[in-house]
Structure 1
Amino acid sequence: MRNYMITWMQRHKKWLVVTIWISTIAFVGAGFVGWGSYNYGKTGGDMAKVGDVTISYKDVNDQYNRLYSQYSETFGEQFNQEVAKKLDLETVAFDSTVSSALVMNYARDLGLIVTDKEVSQELVRYDAFLKDGKFDKDIYIKVLSQNHNSPKEFENRLKKDILIGKVQDIFRKFTKNSDNEIENISKIFAIKDDLDIQIIKANDIIVDKNDKKLKEYWEKNKNLYLSNTQYKTNISEIAIKDGDEKKAKTQALKLFIDLKKSKKRFDKTTTIDINNLGLNQDDINDIQKAEKNKVLKPIQSGDKFIILQIIETIKPKPLPFLDIVDEVALSYKIQVLLKQKAQKALENFQGVNIGTIDMSKFKQIDGLTKEQSQTFYNQLFSRQDKKGIIAIQDKNIVYNIKKSEFGEVGSKETKDIVSKRIDTIKINLLMSKLLENLKNRYDVVRY
């Protein structure tokens, strides 16, 4: 089965690149479950430029991690690092990031923009950021921090996804489906399964943080838990007083000239993590590309302007075990203990019948969120095994299909679902053709 999956993905690699942004927005909110992270080569600096859009190594790192987690959810235990290497997922991550950048250039040329209000409306859709059904800023920041992300980075990525979605919406106007198309394809969605399941939850598992096996797990995977790139710098600051940014910037520019000419000395020498300074992406890129000992122009950081001189770049290194024991414990719980418990449950199955489910009539499953239930449906109907385990975020669902049969075709609900899926296929075709055109319109330069 795994070899079949690899063969299929290799044959359809072109489509994996084309369709990857279609589910990016939906996936973002579901990905915070302690998958760990992967480092695609470097972690700082620029990797390529597509038209007017710069692609950083972090952009490709993030895309790799999203892809890896997405495929893990789709294919379950069949997908792992070995499969990722055979698929050349690093190249897929880079190519899909380039594809997104091409479409972003096109969107900007069309005059499309994304407002802060649209970003806010998107944020409240994700269960990961909600408390009692409402968006909670503290939880939002905590979840992002646990995944080595900041609100600014996350929201910038969300803006890109929304912008790409607006281009798709333009094509959606040209994807009307015939009754014949819908009728024929609806037959595929008429399969029904009578199902028993047992949900194994990571929250029910307690990890002993003194267990030597936890330390051994970290030792094998410590390159997934790296510090951010840091910079030893000389630094001076000019505070913004009474909200007068213009005056503070003028003072900072004057100080910058004096520092550059060595007429004045920097306030102090310190080590900084630029991800903690509240900088925009352009300023971060300037610091990452700065030559050693060059005095950089003033940069606004919160309620002050800072002037930096990079003395040394400190590369990422594995974080001490005790500093990240909670994060490692969460990953160990999901990647090791949860799987072990699910395997034992499969061998001694004692599930609960949830009735008949089919692809045409979605219903949320007790114990799973709406998104998790949808993922379970997608995986179940792509499986050939009567019994098995489906891993979804912090849960493993052990299942046993008691009986399968064909249901009736023709309900309006079924036809609506089928019509949307046909729309997706047609949009993929149109986006593929668009990409071929955009590659000739915008220069792609890899550094």
Structure 2
Amino acid sequence: MITWMQRHKKYLVVTIWISVIAFVGAGTVGWGSVDLNSSRSKYVAKVGNLGVTHKEFNDKYSELFYIQNQLSNGELTEEQALKLGLDKQALVELIREKLLLNYANDLGFYASEEEVVKTIASYELFNKSEEDKTFDKSKYLTYLKNLRMSEADFANQIKNKLEISKLLKLLAVPANKEELEIANASLNMQDEINLKIIDLSKEEDKIKLSEDELKSYWQEHKDEYKTELSYDYSVYTLNPNLDNLIESDMKTYWENNKFNYKDEEGKIKEYELALNDVKIDFALSLLEKEAKLDYIKLKNNEIKFQSTTNQNAYSELVLQNKDLKVGEMSKPFIMDNKYYIVRLDKINQPTALEFEKAKMMVEEDLRELKFKELLSNTGEEELKKDKINGKNIGFISKVSKNNTDLTDTEFFTFVSELFLKNTKKSYVLLNDKVLVYEILSQKLVDNTSEKNNTDLSNELKNINFTLMLDDLIKELDKRYEIKNYYKGSEF
């Protein structure tokens, strides 16, 4: 198998990168959580001899949520995260990690207790201070308490990461001379381009669509236009009382939970700065017992639900209660700074929309289709002409800077497609433009300095690693049985 891994390499192709990130970092608490019914199964998935636990799944989901939330300027909601498929992505990454761990153990790669302890002690997060780099046991234990994780569980996570990293070192194969030559030739090839930019952005709104065309398109694609999946709930809410809270009790609550209150830099907020959030959380903690009692009363029909609501499949209310069956009640849960108890009354399956209700969507889709046809037809007509009446933009390579009227993104798209095609004349379609071009001449530039060769060698090493890892995962997928228990996921 090791020989097989060393041989299986391809050139300059981007594939999926498998995340093997240490869990110590910017924190996973409070950045999204997917609730699973743990009574349904001990594991979310089983890979070979190893299981993906519910806690591992929630930790990985929280990690991905944190990253995506940073990219979204802190505005990512639970609904948006699940719409993006972060839950499924978390499970895919964990399954791949378990595949690698199975194989690492089969090959005899194990991390000793000494290696684990040394790794944990090396994390700056557990240093006594910025000046004093020695390990602070109290910081370590507080961190684990915040994660609701035992020392044994955390050490086991580090052990797994170390064992996988030992396996992955086998894939760190340096680029050979032939690969460097091919890559250099590819990157240093330059084409002299005659480019014509045809902007059709004002033409889309001029496209006329008749009622018959719309009805005909709807008839052919009616299965694509349906009502949303939705759920009917009976709802009971309890609002926290924010008045007359005892200051000393709130401070004690903050002391016990202060790792949940951090600023944008990940530092713990002082009590005064965190007071608004502390007040709400403390009031909710006082309300917990009453919520549990009301749950029992609702179950015994001693009190009634206060209202009913219809929610679409991606609403937070639905996502918090996705394991409920019709007629079942949820246990008390917190949402929008209140306690909720809900009963699922009905699931409304998607049904085909009548033409009038789907008309706006049909018109939008058909207009987009017609516009794409216009872009393509315009490109084809230009190529039929004897000469492309464009502008000579000079010699460009795969790494050239933008010297055109295009945006940088548009220019990058053009260059990427240009070097994928093997024709002298062609066109590239953008969202609202057609780029018709002709290659006037070509040349090979010598740019093989020692620094460039080192940078390119490192890049090729990374590409080789990624490709071999991708191939290895595919082989391990055949080798180890994968059982997926997570509702709604397919692999």
Q: What is the TM-score normalised by the length of structure 2?
A: 0.53
* 2:326 is the alignment partner of 1:288: no
Partner of 2:132: none
Within 5 Å, give how 1:128-139 maps onto structure 2. none
Larger radius of gyration: 2
Residue among 469, 472, 478 paired with 1:430: 469
Partner of 1:410: 447
Partner of 1:316: 350
Amino acid at match of 1:290: L
Conserved? CA contact 1:186–1:418, under 8 Å: no
Residues 424 and 414 (structure 1), Cα distance of their counterparts in 2 relative to 1, 3 Å cut? same
What displacement does 1:186 show? 1.7
Partner of 1:31: none
Secondary structure in 2 aligned to 1:338? Answer: helix
Q: Tell me the distance in 2 between the aligned counterparts of 1:200 and 1:246.
A: 62
What displacement does 1:251 show? 2.6
Q: Tell me the distance in 2 between the aligned counterparts of 1:324 and 1:367.
A: 39
Residue among 169, 186, 189 paired with 2:187: 189
Within 5 Å, give how 1:87-166 maps onto structure 2. 114=63, 118-123=67-72, 150=80, 153-154=83-84, 156=86, 160=90
* 2:15 is the alignment partner of 1:19: yes
Partner of 1:177: 175
Q: Tell me the distance in 2 between the aligned counterparts of 1:309 and 1:210.
A: 48
Residue among 245, 262, 278 paired with 2:301: 262
Residue among 403, 411, 415 paired with 1:377: 415
What displacement does 1:337 show? 0.9
Q: Tell me the distance in 2 between the aligned counterparts of 1:374 and 1:50.
A: 48
Partner of 1:32: none
Q: Which moved more, 1:394-403 or 1:296-305?
A: 394-403
Q: Tell me the distance in 2 between the aligned counterparts of 1:423 and 1:303.
A: 46
Residues 181 and 136 (structure 1), Cα distance of their counterparts in 2 relative to 1, 3 Å cut? same
Secondary structure in 2 aligned to 1:401? Answer: strand
Q: Tell me the distance in 2 between the aligned counterparts of 1:109 and 1:289.
A: 16
Q: Tell me the distance in 1 between the aligned counterparts of 2:458 and 2:433.
A: 31
Q: Tell me the distance in 1 between the aligned counterparts of 2:41 and 2:173.
A: 29
Q: Which moved more, 1:225-234 or 1:314-323?
A: 314-323
Partner of 1:238: 238
Secondary structure in 2 aligned to 1:353? Answer: strand
What displacement does 1:444 show? 2.4
What displacement does 1:428 show? 1.9
* 2:426 is the alignment partner of 1:388: yes
Residues 374 and 223 (structure 1), Cα distance of their counterparts in 2 relative to 1, 3 Å cut? farther
Secondary structure in 1 aligned to 2:15? Answer: helix
Between the aligned residues of both structures, percent identity stands at: 18
Conserved? CA contact 2:64–2:90, under 8 Å: no
Report the count of equivalent residues: 338
Q: Tell me the distance in 2 between the aligned counterparts of 1:435 and 1:309.
A: 43
What displacement does 1:313 show? 0.9
Q: Tell me the distance in 1 between the aligned counterparts of 2:336 and 2:199.
A: 41
Q: Tell me the distance in 1 between the aligned counterparts of 2:296 and 2:377.
A: 66
Amino acid at match of 1:377: V
Listed as ranges, the gaps of 5+ residues in structure 1 are 1-11, 24-44, 56-97, 124-134
Residues 272 and 209 (structure 1), Cα distance of their counterparts in 2 relative to 1, 3 Å cut? farther
Q: Tell me the distance in 1 between the aligned counterparts of 2:353 and 2:240.
A: 35
What displacement does 1:322 show? 7.0
Residues 433 and 386 (structure 1), Cα distance of their counterparts in 2 relative to 1, 3 Å cut? same
- Kindly provide the CA deviation profile for residues 289-337 of structure 1, in whole angstroms up to 9, marking residues without a partner as x: 3222111212322122222222221122456777777765554444321
Residues 366 and 228 (structure 1), Cα distance of their counterparts in 2 relative to 1, 3 Å cut? farther
Amino acid at match of 2:340: I
Secondary structure in 2 aligned to 1:204? Answer: coil
Secondary structure in 1 aligned to 2:330? Answer: coil
Residues 311 and 113 (structure 1), Cα distance of their counterparts in 2 relative to 1, 3 Å cut? closer
Conserved? CA contact 1:230–1:314, under 8 Å: yes
Q: Which moved more, 1:221-230 or 1:236-245?
A: 221-230
Secondary structure in 1 aligned to 2:185? Answer: helix
Q: Tell me the distance in 1 between the aligned counterparts of 2:444 and 2:375.
A: 34
Secondary structure in 2 aligned to 1:256? Answer: helix
Residues 193 and 184 (structure 1), Cα distance of their counterparts in 2 relative to 1, 3 Å cut? closer
Secondary structure in 2 aligned to 1:288? Answer: coil
- Kindly provide the CA deviation profile for residues 215-244 of structure 1, in whole angstroms up to 9, marking residues without a partner as x: 654554454454432012222222234212
* 2:331 is the alignment partner of 1:297: yes
Conserved? CA contact 1:234–1:267, under 8 Å: yes
Partner of 2:292: 253
Conserved? CA contact 1:190–1:358, under 8 Å: yes
- Kindly provide the CA deviation profile for residues 347-370 of structure 1, in whole angstroms up to 9, marking residues without a partner as x: 1354333222222x3323645444
Q: Tell me the distance in 1 between the aligned counterparts of 2:91 and 2:441.
A: 38
* 2:372 is the alignment partner of 1:338: yes
Secondary structure in 1 aligned to 2:301? Answer: coil
Amino acid at match of 1:234: S
Residue among 361, 364, 381 paired with 1:347: 381
Within 5 Å, give how 1:208-219 maps onto structure 2. 211-212=209-210, 213=213, 216-219=216-219
Secondary structure in 1 aligned to 2:459? Answer: helix
Conserved? CA contact 2:376–2:429, under 8 Å: no
Q: CA RMSD in A?
A: 5.1
